[in-house]
């Protein structure tokens, strides 16, 4: 028993050390800026050089499997924004100090604006109202879809550059703000072609030339093109949601977690079709005027503000329906009640209900923003640390590597622990407490990719041991009341 407790203490210590690697910002870092990860054709027919800023720890311990990857995606309504924005730089550098290889990426921007004259000067509301009037609602989805393709290409760039950055392709995390949140969610949870809105990503009728009113502010100044006459208006098929950048893919990669800061999804992509389902950290405020927290149209609150006195604008046209963070959680819970595989999640939201007038008068009450950026980053770091699939103690195995993910962790008494992996005949799962007593055990079927198992009936620290042939993985689980 003494020897066993020593082993448990060793495992416990290793898990605590591993978790701290990804929670405490303790490493020195280096950054490589403006690294080109490929080129692709944008909405106006122009070839764009796509770049990323990469940060990585220089004094973190070398591990056989490498370091986890985090991709950071900026917002900007799919029309503007940049990888170098201050909040993105903070996120990129801070998570590199936590032990990740992080990359803030630029992606293809732009939509085709309407050919109709729709104009309203509401600059005091802090957004370019005119530029939000697009050709039709598909433009929102197509811009989001191009972003998904580009981020997959950015992941492949890092995964394929194994020698340079030493990434762990089995631990990829994608985080985004606003429009970047949409893209991060799309990258992480679009895992089957049936979840693609193919009628919108496929070939469509060519767009009509945008109205002249949008040329200066929405097209030229944003760098979409130098004039309406030179823009490409063809809306060709966009191809696979995984894109073509940096193919062939030299190593498979697994997305373990998605961080969404006040973004959303255009359709229900929350049912899992993959062996490993990413965990979801999502943050939102109830009074978000740009991305509604529930189920509504993009810019619902902002649009309502602009239509009121003293602006008296007409409505922004061609806005699609979407699900914000609460809407996403509702989709997950509904699918779970129907017996579907869904992601585990942590949903942080505030009680901020400041209306439009209050937000204009006092920007600190803005809903499309952070209440406490440090707190939300830290919460996400803690949650992601539980989803990282750590290397085996004896290094990389030859042949098939046993990869296991468990969630949620921590877990509450009475909840089932979700175990994901690809198992062979006779694989077993055992749960034992800190004294070495087995409290639950089960044998798995060949090829089964996931199961649920009860952990403990009392709060405390437990260990889940998965044995598959000559391979064994032990995971620590905390059970709360």
Res 445: pLDDT:
64
DSSP string over 398-440: SSS----EEE-SSEETTPEEEEE----TT-EEEEEETTS-EEE
> According to CATH, where is 2.60.40.1930 located in the chain?
405-480
Distance set, CA 89 to CA 50, 94, 180, 226, 229 (Å): 17, 8, 14, 30, 36
CA angle 198, 199, 202 (to 5 degrees): 70
Give me the mean pLDDT over the 155-163 stretch: 93
Q: What is the mean pLDDT of the chain?
A: 88
**Bridge partners, 386 (sequence order):** none
Predicted model pTM = 0.81
Query: CB–CB of 93/31 below 8 Å?
Result: yes
Half-sphere exposure of 12 (CA within 13 A, CB side): 16
Q: Among 53-62, 249-258, 288-297, 457-466, whose mean pLDDT is lowest?
A: 457-466
State pLDDT tens for residues 59-109.
988 777 899 999 999 999 999 999 999 999 999 999 999 999 999 999 999
Topology, domain 21-385: Rossmann fold (3.40.50)
Q: In the prediction, which pLDDT does 47 show? A: 96
Q: Phi and psi (nearest 5°) for 414?
A: 95, -15
Is it true that domain 405-480 has CATH number 3.40.1390.20? no
The per-residue pLDDT for 459 is 85
CA gap 329, 325 in Å, rounded: 6
User: What are the strands, taking DSSP E only, across 87-185?
Assistant: 101-105, 167-177
- Locus of tokens 């985090």: 70
C-alpha to C-alpha distance for 339 and 157, rounded to whole angstroms:
36
Q: Given a cut of 80, is residue 49 above it in pLDDT? A: yes
All CATH 3.40.50.1820 domain ranges in the chain, comma separated:
21-385
DSSP 194: G
Closest by CA position to 289, among listed 347, 350, 354, 370: 354
pLDDT for residue 286: 98
Work out the pLDDT band at 432, boundaries 50, 70, 90: confident
């Amino acid at each position: 028993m003494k020897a066993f407790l020593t082993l448990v203490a060793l495992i416990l210590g290793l898990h605590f050390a591993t978790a701290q690697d990804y929670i405490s910002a303790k490493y020195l870092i280096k950054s490589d800026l403006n690294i080109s990860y490929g080129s692709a054709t944008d909405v106006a027919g122009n070839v764009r050089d796509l770049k990323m800023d990469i940060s990585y720890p220089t004094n973190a311990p070398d591990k056989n499997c490498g370091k986890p990857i985090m991709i950071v995606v900026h917002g900007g309504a799919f029309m503007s924004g940049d990888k170098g924005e201050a909040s993105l730089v903070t996120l990129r550098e801070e998570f590199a100090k936590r032990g990740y290889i992080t990359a803030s990426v630029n992606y293809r921007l732009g939509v085709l604006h309407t050919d109709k004259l729709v104009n309203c000067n509401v600059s005091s509301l802090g957004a370019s109202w005119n530029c939000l009037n697009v050709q039709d609602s598909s433009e929102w989805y197509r811009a989001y879809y191009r972003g998904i393709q580009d981020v997959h290409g950015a992941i492949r760039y890092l995964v394929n550059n194994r020698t340079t950055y030493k990434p762990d392709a089995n631990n990829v995390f994608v985080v985004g703000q606003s429009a970047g949140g949409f893209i991060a969610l799309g990258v992480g949870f679009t895992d089957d072609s049936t979840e693609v809105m193919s009628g919108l990503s496929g070939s469509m009728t060519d767009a009509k030339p945008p109205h002249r009113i949008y040329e200066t502010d929405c097209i030229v100044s944003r760098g979409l093109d130098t004039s309406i006459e030179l823009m490409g208006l063809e809306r060709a098929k966009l191809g696979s949601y995984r894109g073509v950048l940096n193919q062939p893919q030299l190593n498979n990669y697994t997305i373990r977690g998605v961080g969404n800061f006040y973004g959303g999804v255009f359709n229900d992509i929350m049912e899992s079709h993959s062996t490993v389902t990413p965990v979801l950290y999502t943050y939102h405020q109830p009074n978000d005027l740009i991305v509604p927290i529930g189920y509504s149209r993009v810019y619902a609150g902002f649009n309502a503000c602009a239509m009121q006195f003293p602006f008296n604008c007409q409505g922004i046209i061609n806005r699609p329906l979407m699900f914000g963070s609460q809407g996403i959680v509702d989709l997950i819970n509904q699918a779970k009640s129907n017996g579907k595989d869904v992601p585990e999640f942590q949903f942080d939201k505030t009680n901020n209900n400041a209306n439009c007038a209050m937000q204009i008068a006092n920007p600190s009450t803005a809903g499309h923003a952070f209440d406490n950026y440090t707190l939300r980053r830290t919460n996400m770091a803690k949650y992601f640390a539980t989803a990282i699939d750590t290397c085996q103690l004896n290094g990389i195995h030859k042949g098939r590597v046993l990869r296991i993910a468990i969630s949620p962790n921590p877990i509450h008494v009475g909840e089932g622990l979700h175990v994901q992996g690809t198992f062979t005949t006779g694989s077993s799962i055992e749960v034992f407490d800190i004294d070495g007593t087995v409290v639950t055990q089960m044998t798995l079927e060949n090829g089964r990719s996931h199961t649920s198992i009860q952990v403990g009936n009392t709060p405390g620290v437990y260990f889940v041991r998965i044995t598959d042939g000559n391979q064994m993985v032990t995971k620590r689980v905390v059970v709360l009341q």
